[in-house]
Amino acid sequence: MSDTLELLQTIHDLAGRRGVFRPDAYFFVLEALEQAVTAMPERGHVTGEDLLDAVRDLGGERFGVMAPEVFRAWGVRTTLDFGRVVFHLVDAGLMSRRERDSLSDFIDKFDFESAFPLRTLRAED
């Protein structure tokens, strides 16, 4: 089986087994992780805060003002839920963690509604 198919199956199995978040949430976190790693001056460990910055950036780029609604459709209602997704991925062996990494690193880091505000269009837009 190809690596891509294996990853797809693993994520779908994980989402089904956990029954909390849709597979899209897991894929999105993995993509945000890749974005966070790529943005680093040299490859290293991504903290919870770094990952959430990438989640916010990617969510804004991809979904704009609709990001909170999209996240809710995936079962993700707070930044802590993104932390739960991360630790599910760690438990599944798809991400790694350091001893000091904690779910508490993801508590109340930003509010979805204020992180993705409705932008008013300027006259030249």
| C-alpha span between 59 and 112 (Å, rounded) | 10
SS3 71: helix
Domains in the chain: boundaries: 3-115
- The structure's pTM equals 0.89
For residue 49, give the amino acid letter.
Answer: E
pLDDT tens, position by position, 56-104: 999 999 999 999 999 999 999 999 999 999 999 999 999 999 999 999 9
**Tokens representing residue 111 in the block:** 């509010």
Q: Report helix, strand or coil for 37.
A: helix
